[in-house]
Amino acid sequence: MTTGQLHLNAFLMNTGHHEASWRLPESDPFAHVSLDHFVRLARIAERGTFDSLFLADGPQLWSSLAQRPAGALEPLTLLTALATATEHIGLIATASTSYNSPYNLARKFASLDIISGGRAGWNIVTTAGKEAARNFGLEHEPAHADRYARAGEFLDVALKLWDSWEDDAITGDKAAGVWGDDTKIHPPRHQGTYFSVEGALNVPRTPQGYPLLVQAGSSEDGKAFASRYAEAVFTAQQTIEDARDFYADLKSRTAAAGRDPDHIKVLPGIVPVIGATEAEALAKERELEDHIVHHHGVANLERLLQLPLGTLELDRPLPSDLPPESAVEGAKSRYTLVVELARRDRLTVRQLIGRLGGGRGHLTFAGTPEQVADAIETWFTQGAADGFNIMPPVLPSGLEAFVDHVVPILRTRGLLRTEYGPRQTLRQRYGLPRPANQYAQPVHA
């Protein structure tokens, strides 16, 4: 039984998470490259006293232009602009450990943390798929285990770089003519399997020390990585039972890694389809489903399941001879989730596409504001979540509906703050301590 207040993260995606959202009359087909659109979303989320907002990303063109809005603004750049348009909300950018170098990326996140006054977060991903690999001189996607091994070393180097300045390295002593203390600089001098980095970083230590570390893979390697490094975890879970198992597993792995299990916040995704009545919510869900163009959905599914194009038939179930998760080199846990969902609910390919259309495997929940609040409260109090990744099917209207109708109920029930209060860092919002610098001597009272 979990008590206290829950954490809310707004997962923003152009016109919304439903793949057909861009086709609704209200939607702007150019929203994905509109700063005004994202400023508006950020301010709505801030009105709802969310802990943070989040942008997904990958260094590749994700889908065909025929299908839905494709391409996106680079998250760290966009979040820097949002930092100046907001005051309290945390700003979490996705960046890949497979297709970046630690020095450049550590510098960019340190810059965002300073510019935003300590509100930066990093969604650490290893990036599945050969499309991205081919943008970086590789013929094939690196093996899953290699991607996570590189991610581990990437984090170790980034953490050393962020700690390479002690907090009090800059003294600014004009009278003595000494700007800073070189003994407080600690170059990592890292020589490893994937990286060789002398250091130190060319940005001082930041308000948070380093960005909030978020992770979003749920495979064995993903969970092992999260238990070592992550302070928040995004996850797709279809049932409260699966979510509780995942939650308990991750907390116990974190304890086994020598960390406080309360210092890793588990945030399952939910796609809330909100209506004044249940019938209205279901009608909204149906309207979105009716706008799905099925051949795009089939191609997406074939890509996820790593089947040759043209394998699947709309009105038949998935093939019974799909390979096990261990044979998949892409996004392992999402593969298993989709296959299990189709088998458990005996779905045809057409029905499966309808179920995935809203949130690509995240839980879709259609109902009244009370019903949505009840579902959130149940998962929160029954040990399935420390909070939620809110994924509105349509933006901005779905976020507005959540903030105007669900947030007040959560506040009345004492589950969510009613105001931000004084400025805090993102890590403080999540109830997490500021990390100590690995190079600094502890100060004894």
**Binding positions for ligand FMN, rule: CB under 6 A:** 56-58, 94, 125, 127-128, 216-219, 221-222, 234-236, 269, 331-334, 389
Q: Which is nearer to ligand FMN, 118 or 217 (by Cβ)? A: 217
Distance CA 141, CA 150 (A): 13
Smallest distance, ligand FMN to C-beta of residue 54, A? 8
* Position with the least CB separation from ligand FMN: 217
Q: Which is nearer to ligand FMN, 128 or 200 (by Cβ)? A: 128
Q: Which is nearer to ligand FMN, 280 or 329 (by Cβ)? A: 329
**Phi, psi for residue 270 in degrees, rounded to 5:** -140, 135
Q: Which is nearer to ligand FMN, 42 or 201 (by Cβ)? A: 42
Q: Which is nearer to ligand FMN, 98 or 425 (by Cβ)? A: 98
Smallest distance, ligand FMN to C-beta of residue 112, A? 16
Smallest distance, ligand FMN to C-beta of residue 353, A? 19
Q: Which is nearer to ligand FMN, 127 or 425 (by Cβ)? A: 127
Smallest distance, ligand FMN to C-beta of residue 261, A? 20
Smallest distance, ligand FMN to C-beta of residue 222, A? 3
Smallest distance, ligand FMN to C-beta of residue 218, A? 5
Distance CA 387, CA 383 (A): 10
Smallest distance, ligand FMN to C-beta of residue 23, A? 23
- Measured over the CA atoms of residue 285, residue 288, residue 294 and residue 298, the dihedral's sign is negative
Smallest distance, ligand FMN to C-beta of residue 382, A? 20
Distance CA 391, CA 405 (A): 15
SS3 letters for the chain? CCCCCCEEEEEECCCCCCCCHHHCCCCCCCHHHCHHHHHHHHHHHHHCCCCEEEECCCCCCCCCCCCCCCCCCCHHHHHHHHHHHCCCCEEEEEEECCCCCHHHHHHHHHHHHHHCCCCEEEEEECCCCHHHHCCCCCCCCCCHHHHHHHHHHHHHHHHHHHCCECCCCEEEECCCCEEECHHHECCCCEECCCCEECCCCCCCCECCECCEEEECCCCHHHHHHHHHHCCEEEECCCCHHHHHHHHHHHHHHHHHCCCCHHHCEEEEEEEEEECCCHHHHHHHHHHHHHCCCHHHHHHHHHHHCCCCCCCCCCCCECCCCCCCHHHCCCCHHHHHHHHHHHHHCCCEHHHHHHHHHCCCCCEEEEECHHHHHHHHHHHHHCCCCCEEEECCCCCCHHHHHHHHHHHHHHHHCCCCCCCCCCCCCHHHHCCCCCCCCCCCCCCCC
Smallest distance, ligand FMN to C-beta of residue 6, A? 17
Smallest distance, ligand FMN to C-beta of residue 367, A? 21
Q: Which is nearer to ligand FMN, 248 or 440 (by Cβ)? A: 248
Q: Which is nearer to ligand FMN, 56 or 169 (by Cβ)? A: 56
Q: Which is nearer to ligand FMN, 169 or 328 (by Cβ)? A: 328
Q: Which is nearer to ligand FMN, 145 or 279 (by Cβ)? A: 145
